[in-house]
Amino acid sequence: MPDPSPRAAAAHLLDQIMGEQRQMSDLLATGALDRLDAPGRARAQRLATQTLRGIERADRILAKHLRKPPPLTVMNILRLGTVELCLGGDAHGVVNECVTMTASHKRFAKLKGLVNAVLRKAAADGPAEWAILRVPHLPKWLRAPLSDAYGAKAVAGFEAAHFAGAPLDLTAKGDPAKLAELVGGTVLPTGSVRIMEAGQVSALPGYDAGDWWVQDAAAAIPAKLLKAAPGEAVLDMCAAPGGKTLQLAATGADVTALDISDARMARVRENLGRTGLGAHLVSGDALTHEGSYDAILLDAPCSATGTIRRHPDLPHARDGSEIGDLIALQAAMLDRALSLLKPGGRLLYCTCSLLPDEGECQVDEALVRHPGLTVDRGALDMPGLDPAWITAEGGLRLRPDYWPERGGMDGFYMALLRS
């Protein structure tokens, strides 16, 4: 069987996300694009993410040319082609390959004529219509609670950031200014290096040398707030994929990286090897882990609703039904982490969620459950952090509509707790 083209691989990703509710990160980790070379993998992922961001617009354009929606596989080929055409793709190449992809499916080959006709119409009138359609909305299961928490104007800002996508942020092992010069990026106020048009990540200068790692600017802040010191015993409690582990290890602290997934821990090991940093790796359950630590970073499992600008598959792969269980798990992990702290130790709790129930409310409730626990507001006195981002209980709320002129940031919540 010949290797798939990047466009065909992107269509397969869409089928798995839309039809099987698989997350793209899981698909990539299990080899969904391994038959492609590095540039092909990058292109397939880019085509899939562009389509996911623009599905609402694509469906509106396609609805005019379809009496009824075709089977999902064919619909995803149409979506993929429509988005590519509306973003300036070559009409001849896009239409021809989408028709060929349809013809290669035994069950759907008879629909190749439909695909040809519809995409030719989309090529003619789609780009003009695309330009005037609204910014795609979040699904109702997420849009409603976010509107309640932040208001309609803020949510519109979130959606604009999601639709725009995310530039590439790097954390430097050494001097951020030198890294920015090396890769042609800019240094953000919090010290991350941002590249607006990165291309293939592994081809960037300094990748093989381990001079940096990919990490959204918001995700890089928790480890900085923890301020791990050389020789301190530090636990990264849910470590994979390892960006925060690398940050902690770079301080000279004695870092233990813990994660329940062996497969995900393999990526932490790979990143440590590439960067030449060291940590003790433990595959295990955070709720039964034993030890005693000066400092703990708990990036708790969450809805990941703050990362949609980088992971536009999330609203399609999830429906919000898991959030109640996640909230209970976060509270249990937070309590367990506090039990592992040495007297006077500190815990950085964070989630990449926009939902207050997974952030601010968790800290409020932990303060009630644990008399003597305090929030260290002073830890937030860090360059680049706007005082307006500090919440009532002393945590930090980051949102995708912040830094719009710089390309935004992921949604995150974090608070430094002292026992």
Q: How far apart are CA 164 and CA 310, in angstroms?
A: 10
Same domain, 232 and 110: no
Q: Say yes or no: 373 and 263 in one domain.
A: yes
- What pLDDT, on a 0 to 100 scale, did the predictor assign at position 1? 55
CA 244 to chain centre: 14
Query: Do 117 and 226 fall into the same domain?
Result: no
Interval 57-69 mean pLDDT: 96
Please identify, among 82, 114, 132, the residue that sits at the C-terminal boundary of a domain.
Answer: 132
Taking the C-alpha atoms of residue 53 and residue 48, their distance in angstroms, rounded to an integer, is 9
Total domains, the chain? 2
The answer to whether residue 230 is domain-embedded is yes
Work out the percent of the chain whose per-residue pLDDT is above 90.
92
| CA separation for the pair 375, 378 (Å, rounded) | 9
In a domain, 186, yes or no: no
- Residue at 373 is within a domain: yes
Range of the domain at 94: 6-132
Looking at the fold, whether 290 and 394 belong to one and the same domain comes out as yes
Q: Do 127 and 221 sit in the same domain of this protein? A: no
Q: 251 Cβ partners below 8 Å, 6+ apart?
A: 228, 229, 230
Which residue numbers are catalytic? 352
361/263 Cα distance (integer angstroms): 31
Q: Which helix (H) or strand (E) holds 272?
A: helix 262-275
Residue 167 lies in a domain: no
Cite the DSSP H helix spans in 343-406: 360-369
Domain stops at, among 93, 117, 132: 132
Domain-terminating residue out of 78, 113, 132: 132
pLDDT digits (tens, 9 = 90+) for 122-168: 999 999 999 999 999 999 999 999 999 999 999 999 999 999 999 99
Is residue 407 a part of any domain in this protein?
yes
- In this prediction, residue 219 carries a pLDDT of 97
Quick check: is 207 in a domain?
no
At 182-207, the pLDDT tens digits run 999 999 999 999 999 888 888 999 99
Asked if residue 240 is part of any domain, the answer here is yes
83 and 229 both lie in a single domain: no
In DSSP terms, which residues pair with 295 in a beta bridge? 234, 346
Dihedral over Cα of 62, 63, 69, 72: its sign: positive
Mark whether 128 and 222 lie in a shared domain: no
- The predicted model scores a pTM of 0.93
The CATH number covering residue 286 comes to 3.40.50.150
Please report the pLDDT score of residue 326 as a whole number.
97
| 18: CATH | 1.10.940.10
Tens digit of each residue's pLDDT (9 = 90 or more) over 349-383: 999 999 999 999 999 999 999 999 999 999 999 99
Do 274 and 399 lie in one domain? The reply is: yes
Give residue 198's pLDDT.
81
Instruction: Judge whether 261 lies within some domain.
Output: yes
pLDDT tens-digit map of 220-244: 999 999 999 999 999 999 999 999 9
Same domain, 226 and 329: yes
Please check whether residues 294 and 386 belong to one and the same domain.
yes
Q: Are 120 and 239 members of one domain?
A: no
What is residue 30's predicted lDDT score, i.e. its pLDDT? 86
List of E strands, 231-372: 233-236, 254-259, 280-283, 293-299, 341-351
In this structure, the answer to whether residues 116 and 243 fall within a common structural domain is no
pLDDT, one tens digit per residue, over 259-307 is 998 888 998 999 999 999 999 999 999 999 999 999 999 999 999 999 9
Please determine, for residue 105, whether its predicted confidence score (pLDDT) is greater than 80: yes
Q: What is the reported pLDDT for 3?
A: 77
What residue type is 33 in one-letter code? L
Please enumerate in sequence order all residues whose Cβ is within 8 A of that of 134, keeping only pairs 6 or more positions apart, or say none: none
**Rounded to whole angstroms, how far apart are CA atoms 175 and 211?**
10
